[in-house]
Structure 1
Amino acid sequence: MVLGSAPAEARAVAVADTLLPGQKLMSGQYIRSRSGVFTLIMQPRGDVKLFQRGVSLPLWSSGTWRPGSVLVMGTEGTLQIIYGRTKVWSMGIRSAGAKLVLPDNGNLAIYNTRGKAVWNRHMVIGTLMPQSKLHAPDPAGREVIMYSVNRVYTLKFLTTGNLVLYKNGTSALWSTGVKNTWPESYGWVGPNGAFYTVNKDGDITWFYETRRDGSVLQLRDDGHLVMINGRTVVKTFH
């Protein structure tokens, strides 16, 4: 399925609401829920966005920016954005044979071969890549929570705009300490390696600057929340 003038060899790679293992979306291509309400499209600038019919803002996006990139449902189970031979972005966990599905409720998800969802659009698993976002709950359902791979630890926004690290969903281990009420806040790692939390008006409410381009945020299975650059830990928050 194609929007605009994608090249002929890029056409008909998606199957209705599903991206099967090894299939890809090139610039302008999309999958759509069977109801026609939700559309996931690979943008020419290299960003993947999920739209709801009649709503101008996307419900979810990859946050990437590399024109000419391709979205690939990897055969090993992770959803990837590839530019040439470079993996720009990835999401999900390894689960061979998994597929990406956009159902009628708009909850984009990766399902394993047993039919269990191992990732959905409300989740970041393990690593927050540059320009991807964590998001507080909002009326449009844009909440995104970070999980350790073992699912014991979560990093999530409260409606006040405070970003909190939890163990088992109840024990608070660390937070940004934001005390003002900033509903619909979000957090992201910039390409310059800085980690920000931002309110809905775009004002920075908290930040940490690594000064190392390409750094990422990781939530590890031992509960450590760290900024890393390559293999180097540049900051441990907890």
Structure 2
Amino acid sequence: MVRRLVAGVLAVGALLGGAVLVGSGPAEAKTAAVSDTLLPGQKLMTLQSIKSASGVFTLTMQRSGNVTLFQRGVAQPLWTSGTYRPGSVLVMAADGTMRIIYGRTQIWSMGAASPQAKLVLPNTGLLAIYNTRGKAVWNRHMVIGTLMVGAMLHAPDALGRDVTMYSLDHIYTLKVLTNGNMVFQKNGTTVLWSTGKTQYPESFANIDPNGTFGTYNRDGEGTWDFATHRPGTVVQIRNDGHFLLINGRTVVKMFV
């Protein structure tokens, strides 16, 4: 399953489109006035994109329902949502979170609560959400609070695809190190938990639709996992230092 996911991410292309204002129906859809920004209430539908002013970086909602960030001339995506449900829509919500909606169901979200924030793709390629004061409250190297199905943590690599998970207060982090070891830390220095699996450069971690949380090497082969057997389970890091797997309101596993 992991091999198919990785192959699917590498196979998709970045076709250009336009951003659309969120409305209650097709008659209310309007082309956005900016090319590198999604303002509150705007969305990307299938094959629609925003791109950096330079044209080097493009964020696209693919036919598969996976949102991808590509750099011109680079075959592999720099960042993906990891969502595969054709017909999904990427929405920049008014509360400052970026969401993927299928029908009326939210299947993915990213960012931090910051009313009227906007999503911007600058010429650096650092996709980010900026609040009304111009401060970045999320960027593509971050997962804040909850790791949902499809979202991925990634070790540092040559393409700069590293992604780290943070508690809301940014005190606790969950990251995959360069050697493939996944560690839970306080203040970026004190290790509270780790998988102990090393010698796997360019590894990544995610939780799959069946509730299995695991790490995988660059070829998509599993190096560590914890199977909950509960579809819909997510990973959470809380401000009290708890790192856990939760299904609805039920704590399935507490690592720390």
Q: TM-score, normalised by structure 2?
A: 0.89
Superposed, 1:154-173 pairs within 5 Å as 154-173=173-192
State the alpha-carbon separation in 2 of the partners of residues 201 and 71 from structure 1.
Answer: 28
Amino acid at match of 1:233: V
| Aligned residue number for residue 145 of structure 2 | 126
Distance in structure 1 (CA, Å) of the matches to 2:192 and 2:92: 35
Task: Please tell me whether residue 21 in structure 1 is matched to residue 36 in structure 2.
Answer: no
Q: Which residue of 2 aligns with 1:12?
A: 31
Give the distance between the partners of 1:132 and 1:14, measured in 2 at CA. 29
Counterpart pick for 1:135 among 143, 146, 154: 154
**Paired positions, count:** 234
Runs (5+) with no aligned partner, structure 2: 1-15, 19-25
TM-score normalized with structure 1 length: 0.95
Alignment map for 1:58-207 (pairs within 5 Å): 58-179=77-198, 181-207=199-225
Question: How far apart are the structure 2 equivalents of 1:50 and 1:201?
Answer: 21
What is the one-letter code of the residue matched to 2:83? T
Q: Which residue of 2 aligns with 1:2?
A: 17
2:123 and 2:71 mapped to 1: Cα distance?
10
Report how far residue 65 of structure 1 moved: 1.3
What letter corresponds to residue 78 of structure 1 in structure 2?
A: T
Does the CA-based 8 Å contact 1:25-1:70 persist in structure 2? yes
- Alpha-carbon distance in structure 1 between the residues aligned to 2:30 and 2:224: 44
**Matched-pair contact (CA < 8 Å) for 1:2–1:11:** no
Secondary structure (helix, strand or coil) at the match of 2:232 reads: coil
Cα distance in 2, alignment partners of residues 90 and 14 from structure 1: 24
Structure 2 CA distance, aligned partners of 1:13 and 1:222? 41
Offset from partner CA, 1:218-237 (integer Å, 9 cap, x none): 11111111001111000011
1:53 corresponds in structure 2 to 72
2:227 to 201, 209, 214: 209
After superposing on structure 2, the runs of 4+ consecutive aligned residues of structure 1 that deviate more than 4 Å are 7-11
Q: Is the 8 A contact 1:38 1:53 kept in 2?
A: yes
The Cα of 1:8 is off from its aligned counterpart by: 9.3
Does residue 39 (structure 1) correspond to residue 50 (structure 2)? The answer is no
Amino acid at match of 1:29: Q
Amino acid at match of 1:86: T
Secondary structure in 1 aligned to 2:108? strand
1:72 aligned partner, one-letter code = V
